[in-house]
Chain A
Amino acid sequence: QQQVKQSPQSLIVQKGGISIINCAYENTAFDYFPWYQQFPGKGPALLIAIRPDVSEKKEGRFTISFNKSAKQFSLHIMDSQPGDSATYFCAARGTGNQFYFGTGTSLTVIP
């Protein structure tokens, strides 16, 4: 059973546009929600993260929006650049620091 559902599976955005990736979860015990960026042949790298007591967190061009009542969160990439082309995974932390990953979104930013 997929603990964290992620959409879309793939996304193509023009340079300068906004990329939006959505995730949803069911387990209300999850207490931390990171986003990871992964380039081919590399391990995932922590991009930005949020706790459920905060509705929005912004770091540079990256923003997480969090809706606790709907159990949904999303990543917004403003002014998307070709260098942002990568696979993005949302995740949720459960007990014992176990992380449950979404299925991933392959982002392509067209110059």
Chain B
Amino acid sequence: DTEVTQTPKHLVMGMTNKKSLKCEQHMGHRAMYWYKQKAKKPPELMFVYSYEKLSINESVPSRFSPECPNSSLLNLHLHALQPEDSALYLCASSLTTVRNEKLFFGSGTQLSVL
């Protein structure tokens, strides 16, 4: 199994809503990542979890709150988002953050904020 599974695939939310994005992998990877991608732009790193601990936070606004409940799951909690937060949110994983280079991406959640 070399898949990173993200749910939901599409999400529409209002600016006052609270929603969560979910990501799951069963490859035994201990590093998981959230990226944000705007149309026709490269992915931008948001957060990195290494061994279930937050290791990198790229100065992301607090309306995005990541959570790593266990080594297979990664969540991104969303609250009071702005229309400019509409984007494709990608989850990725790798074996570790130290030596393994291969980054596996999920298909993403296409988020629209109204």
- Cross-chain contact of A96 among B40, B42, B55, B88 (Cβ < 8 A): B55
Of residues 3 through 57 on chain A, the ones whose CB sits less than 8 Å from some CB of chain B are 32, 34, 36, 41-46, 49
Q: Is the CB of B103 within 8 A of A41?
A: no
Interface size on A, residues (CB 8 A): 22
Docked pose: A104 CA to B39 CA in angstroms: 11
Known contacts A97-B94, A104-B42, A106-B40; A34/B56 CB under 8 A: no
Known A41-B110, A43-B108, A96-B55: A101·B42 in contact at CB below 8 Å: yes
Query: Which residue of the partner chain B has the closest CB to A104?
Result: B42
Footprint of B on A, CB under 8 Å?
32, 34, 36, 41-46, 49, 87, 89, 93, 96-99, 101-104, 106
Instruction: Report whether A97 and B43 are in contact in the complex, using a CB–CB cutoff of 8 Å.
Output: no
Given contacts A43-B108, A49-B102, A99-B45, 18 further A-B contacts (CB under 8 A): A34-B101, A41-B88, A41-B110, A42-B108, A43-B92, A43-B105, A43-B106, A43-B107, A44-B90, A45-B105, A46-B102, A46-B103, A96-B48, A96-B97, A97-B97, A97-B98, A99-B103, A102-B42
CA distance A37 to B2 in the complex (A): 17
Let me know if B96 is at the binding interface, CB within 8 A.
yes
Q: Which residues of A contact B41 (CB under 8 A)?
A: 103-104
Give Cα A102 to B48, complex, Å.
Answer: 20
A32 nearest in chain B by CB position:
B101
Inside 8 A of B107's CB, which chain A residues have their CB? 41-43
Q: Which residues of A contact B56 (CB under 8 A)?
A: 96, 98
